[in-house]
Amino acid sequence: MQNSFIIFQKLLVLFGFMLIGYLSYKKKWISDDTSSQISGLIVNIFNPALIISGVIGSVGNGNWNLVIMDLILAVILFVVLILISPAFVRILGVKKDERNIYAVMLIFSNLGFMGIPIIEELYGRGAIFYVALYTLVYNILFYTYGIYLFEKERAMQTGQKAKIIFHWKKMINPGMVACLAALLIFAFQIDAPAPAVSFVQYLGNAAIPLSMIITGVSLAKMPLIEVFKDIKMYQFTFLKMLVIPVIAAFVVRLFHLNPVLSGIMVLMFGMPNGSMAVMMAIDYGLDSSICSRGIVLTTLLSIITLPIVAYLI
């Protein structure tokens, strides 16, 4: 029950930031260009700093057994989601020409901007590093298997043969570099001077409020009536953010794992949709409105679903 209350309180704070973004866009205090520029700062500077802040200045607190176990759990999480995605979209009754889009939304959640503040609130700043390992696996899979799903979707809609293209270069992004840097700092126990630690932590602290403000801006751009009328998306949200995490919570208990790592894994199962699917759908000339509606509804309903999931960890 305590975990549920902690997460509910944190979500209220995050939703407060989203409300600021929503109102700022409606009042025209933030323009489309401004939000795009802020997003660039978040992705390229603030979020990488947040990832590194999870390990910098904590020399002597490393435990390789936990790191290896966390990586294994991260891989298991994505493998499970990939394996169940075909059955998931069929149970949901998704149209054949939309199944790959729904599979992407199921597999690739908002592990960073929503996951990091939730995990940090529950387990402390040091746990950010363990979330970073999930984002490491996320990046590798999104730019390989995720791209493959988008290629399949485009081929299905155009009648052409799907091309298997792996975007290796896109994997080398600031977030991936930050994950690798965090691993190096952890592995070699690099002791940074106090000013450097403070600098990175101050930058990282800006990531969460700014990212949620930009999420609020994105909500302001969406016709919310269309979102709330999408019955299929409610069903998707129920299965993705309640049924699957609840099952995961009971299965994980059977293995008596480290409580922090098992808690992180279960919460990662229950995170709302991520924005990468929208950007990639646009890039491939596909209907991005499905992904956009998914982000809005899953994010809004997470204030109900995440505390329920947290109660079980």
Instruction: Name the pTM for this structure.
Output: 0.88
> Where does 2-17+40-311 sit in CATH, by number?
1.20.1530.20
- What pLDDT shows up at residue 243? 96
- What pLDDT shows up at residue 75? 97
Exposed/middle/buried for residue 46 (C-beta within 10 Å: 0-12, 13-18, 19+): buried
- What pLDDT shows up at residue 147? 85
- What pLDDT shows up at residue 308? 94
Can you tell me whether residue 269 is helix, strand or coil? helix
Token match 């994950």: residue? 179
Give the torsion through C-alpha atoms of 129, 131, 134, 140, to 10 deg. -60
Q: Please answer whether residues 185 and 55 qualify as being in contact, where contact means their C-beta atoms are separated by less than 8 angstroms.
A: yes
Q: Please answer whether residues 73 and 79 qualify as being in contact, where contact means their C-beta atoms are separated by less than 8 angstroms.
A: no
- What pLDDT shows up at residue 73? 97
Q: Please answer whether residues 207 and 46 qualify as being in contact, where contact means their C-beta atoms are separated by less than 8 angstroms.
A: yes
- Going from the C-alpha of 158 to that of each of 90, 147, 153, 161, 282, the distances in angstroms are 22, 16, 9, 9, 15
Exposed/middle/buried for residue 144 (C-beta within 10 Å: 0-12, 13-18, 19+): middle
Q: What does the block give as tokens for 198?
A: 């403070």
- What pLDDT shows up at residue 226? 83
Q: Compute mean pLDDT per 10 residues along the chain, 313 residues long, and list them.
A: 86 92 93 87 88 75 84 96 95 89 93 87 88 90 87 76 65 82 84 88 90 86 85 95 96 93 96 85 79 90 94 88
- What pLDDT shows up at residue 61? 58
